[in-house]
Structure 1
Amino acid sequence: MAGTTPPFARFEFMIAWRYLRARRAEGGVSVMTWISLIGITLAVMALIATLAVRSGFRAEFVDTILGANAHVTIYNAAQVDGAGRIDRSIANYEDMAERVRAVPGVIRAAPLIKGQVMASAGGRNAGVEVFGISAGNLETIPRIVDPQEAEGDIALFGGDAAIAIGSGVARELGVVAGDRIKIISPDGVKTAFGTSPRVKAYEVVYVFTAGRYDIDRTRVYMPFDEAQSYFNREGVADELEVMVREPERIDAMSVALLEAAGERALLWTWRDASGSFLRALDIEDNVMFVILSILVLIAAMNITSGLIMLVKNKGRDIGILRTMGLTEGAVLRVFFLCGAFTGIIGTAMGVLLGCLFAIYIDPIFGIVNALSGGGVWDPSVRGISFLPAKLQLGDVLSAVGLSLGLSFIVTIFPARRAARMNPVEALRYE
């Protein structure tokens, strides 16, 4: 009996598949099916590709922050010295560093000297930021010791007249490893006639590419002792550069770090430095997902159009099937399967194309860059030197779930219309 037929029986799949393979006389239905299929494929591909690029950009941006910068910077609150000048220097920096290293989760605490100077070579000048750090501590910075590209030998950094510079600084000055550059500071030697600029030549022993434009373009590393002498900071440090095992938990460590550093200590975490940008990324991620979800919805609505045309063309068949004993539920499932097949096939093709795009994004982007004449990706604007993509299972599953969910939902309405069609009315004019 028809009433005992189990849902989604084999004959329902057979009828649905037969309807999807429309005859030539019903070419309009076939065209709408293809339009729906291509639309869902492209929408899912765009959604997965966008989510992959979004995840890759965020991961690469955070990695460059954590790999080449302090996770926490500890510095002293300002106080006025005997000469009436504001002083933030750390006199007992070695003791402070030892106390901070003892905090659970801290993997490095390095005293640092910082100063902004001008670098000059061959008549070319560039404003740079000097980081005075010991050779041992420099070799613990991931993006410096293991950069995207490197020239020279970091092991030579320990000499007094040896420095390491970013690749952007090297390009700006037109130098390579082994060349010498002049470092010029306005706060130099104090004489009876005032303070004269300090100029000293250093050999470039190491050129690194950290992958972050603002680092590669401005950063210069100088041995800590030499930086103390050059910047008139003998016996003191400007700040403490701290790296921790779990940077994402830095807020939970703040109290322990402050207690270890001392009563004058203040903290500046990587979240403080880049928090606004990360929040902007989160907002952009949400907006992009909503916009692309609308794109998937528009593509899925084509299924509704195709099914409405199919129901209209198959009115006689529906009447015959109903008179043969098919229930409303069986007819509904037949036309639901017609739309579901389109959604499933389109989603599968979209996942395949989206994953391939994310995997081969570098050659694809290279072709686009070549066709456009270059300059599509400007690292000075975007902060990193290439377009990254990172496929994540959660992103793919969210795209699949969204596409299939919308495809199934929009299929229900024309399927119900077919199921409620009166067989007598459907056959009256046949």
Structure 2
Amino acid sequence: MANKAGKTAPFSKYEWMIAWRYLRSQRSEGGVSILSWIALGGITLSVFALIVVMAVRSGFRTDFVDTIIGANAHTSVRSSVYVDENGATSRQIVDYDDWVDRLVRVPGVLSAAPLVKGQVLANLRAANAGVEVYGIRADDLMQLPRIAAPEQSEGDIGRFEEGIAIGWGVAQELGAVVGDRVRIINPTGTRSPMGVTPRVNAYEVVYIFQAGRWDIDRTRVYLPFAEAQAFFNFDGAASEIEVMVDDPENIEQWDEPLLRAAGDKALLWSWKDAWGNFLRALVIEDIMMIIIMSILVLIAALNIISGLIMLVKNKGRDIGILRTMGLTRGAILRVFFLCGALVGTVATALGTVLGCLFALNVNNVVGFINWISGQEVWDASIRGIYRVPSELQAGDVAFAVALALALSWGATIIPARRAARLDPVEALRYE
């Protein structure tokens, strides 16, 4: 529609019509070259890959953190070294009930539970496995969501005081099922004038859990607290206090209140202290993956430049005619900008749809690949978790769409300006 000066508004209907006509024209008519189709396919695949990578990245961190804070203390309160009444150095917490009472009064603390921990050898028939025993009260065990309500389980956690609970990997290593009696061997068991005698006890397996992390399921065994005290020579004492808070992602804000509540001898060891290096490595890996995938989007978008340059060259005569008919340089620029922008927009839309569908069904795809190959392509013993995690976030999708559109639209400016600067006299001289 013309304005008061007699000029048409930018991106008018006729500009869209010309751009669409050029996109639909055959190669023999000087239309879109094969490079433009390559650009469309390249941008589609790169946007698809970028969305999938970011979804898996987000899902991996979420699953990784969830399995850590769902099966472990958000922070552990331990005692510094002191000299006990026998003149020996010790870290045992003798007055652990008092510590627990003080810790649970800290605002934001959900629970505090005394633990006895030790590394021992588990044996069943001819099978042996090194395991880490956690002595814990039954009520406190129910506060661990990845143990009390895991992805898979066998047996009855309500019978915990009657035996032991073992991880899925420990059960596989020993060939144990619910009802078997597993022997637990402590090499530093009983001290006597004749030396140290290993302590060996047998316990019924009453519960088998799959916490979602291979390293936890492969090594973790839970034993009733009183039984663990006797087994590890912790009579009347605990090795640490397990604290759960309402915001474990920001566990640092509880450091000072917990230390004040526990007393001068207290030391803290949070889940971020234990896994901080790995989480920082994940952040660096995430940044590098996004940069690499963004470069792939850029490379695909650059193909638009080649395709549009070929289109401008083939349409030189048309540009000359349009200019003599009254089209301004701005109108010519917008026509060819629309040619490239439409390719980038369509490719971005296709890549977004494909990427979202793949991210939402990534485990089905992996399952199909496993079925085709006849083997597991996702090794939980290496990656720690049992499935390919995927968490599709709106912010990640928006970033991928914005990046692809910015690069593909930006790439059209150079050839579009070249078309706008074309002299109509030169374009029609040899026609």
The answer, yes or no, to whether TM exceeds 0.5 is yes
Tell me if 1:254 matches 2:255: yes
Structure 2 distance, partners of 1:369, 1:319, is 59
**Bigger mean CA deviation after superposition, 190-199 or 167-176:** 190-199
Corresponding residue for residue 136 of structure 1 = 139
CA contact (8 A) 1:20 1:33 kept: no
Structure 2 distance, partners of 1:296, 1:211, is 35
Offset, 1:370: 2.9
- Aligned letter for 2:126? G
Corresponding residue for residue 116 of structure 1 = 119
Tell me if 1:98 matches 2:101: yes
Matches within 5 A, 1:31-430: 31-81=34-84, 83=86, 85-159=88-162, 162-430=163-431
- Identical pairs, percent: 61
**Bigger mean CA deviation after superposition, 191-200 or 70-79:** 191-200
- Aligned letter for 2:82? Q
**Deviation string for 1:272-308 (max 9, x for gaps)?**
0000000000000000000000100010011111100
CA contact (8 A) 1:332 1:419 kept: yes
Structure 1 distance, partners of 2:287, 2:296, is 14
Gaps of 5+ in 1: none
Secondary structure (helix, strand or coil) at the match of 1:235 reads coil
Offset, 1:33: 2.3
Secondary structure (helix, strand or coil) at the match of 1:397 reads helix
CA contact (8 A) 2:166 2:209 kept: yes
Structure 2 distance, partners of 1:389, 1:41, is 20
Offset, 1:194: 1.4
Secondary structure (helix, strand or coil) at the match of 2:32 reads helix
Structure 2 distance, partners of 1:370, 1:73, is 43
Offset, 1:18: 0.5
- TM-aligned CA distance change 1:389 to 1:27, over 3 Å: farther
CA contact (8 A) 2:106 2:257 kept: yes
CA contact (8 A) 1:12 1:333 kept: yes
Offset, 1:27: 6.9
CA contact (8 A) 1:20 1:30 kept: no
Offset, 1:249: 1.7
Offset, 1:3: 5.6
CA contact (8 A) 1:3 1:327 kept: no
Tell me if 1:8 matches 2:11: yes
- Aligned letter for 1:157? F
- Aligned letter for 1:149? Q
Offset, 1:36: 1.2
Count of matched residue positions in the alignment of Structure 1 and Structure 2: 428
Root-mean-square deviation (CA), in Å?
Answer: 1.2
Structure 2 distance, partners of 1:131, 1:97, is 17
**Deviation string for 1:11-68 (max 9, x for gaps)?**
1011001100122514773422221111110000000000000000010000001100
TM-score, scaled relative to structure 1: 0.97
Structure 1 distance, partners of 2:181, 2:6, is 91
Secondary structure (helix, strand or coil) at the match of 1:4 reads coil
- Aligned letter for 2:152? E
Structure 2 distance, partners of 1:420, 1:120, is 83
CA contact (8 A) 1:22 1:30 kept: no
Offset, 1:250: 1.1
CA contact (8 A) 1:133 1:224 kept: yes
**Bigger mean CA deviation after superposition, 289-298 or 77-86:** 77-86
Structure 2 distance, partners of 1:272, 1:333, is 56
Gaps of 5+ in 2: none
Offset, 1:253: 1.2
CA contact (8 A) 2:40 2:347 kept: yes
Q: 1:17 aligns with which of 15, 20, 28?
A: 20
CA contact (8 A) 2:23 2:31 kept: no
Structure 2 distance, partners of 1:43, 1:243, is 42
Structure 1 distance, partners of 2:29, 2:254, is 69
Structure 2 distance, partners of 1:27, 1:172, is 68
Offset, 1:123: 1.1
**Deviation string for 1:306-347 (max 9, x for gaps)?**
100000000000000000100000000000000000000000
- Aligned letter for 2:76? T
Secondary structure (helix, strand or coil) at the match of 2:387 reads coil
- Aligned letter for 2:250? R
- TM-aligned CA distance change 1:24 to 1:287, over 3 Å: closer
CA contact (8 A) 2:70 2:145 kept: yes
CA contact (8 A) 1:254 1:267 kept: yes
- TM-aligned CA distance change 1:156 to 1:27, over 3 Å: farther
Structure 1 distance, partners of 2:197, 2:244, is 37
- Aligned letter for 1:102? R
**Bigger mean CA deviation after superposition, 16-25 or 203-212:** 16-25
TM-score, scaled relative to structure 2: 0.97
Structure 1 distance, partners of 2:376, 2:257, is 47
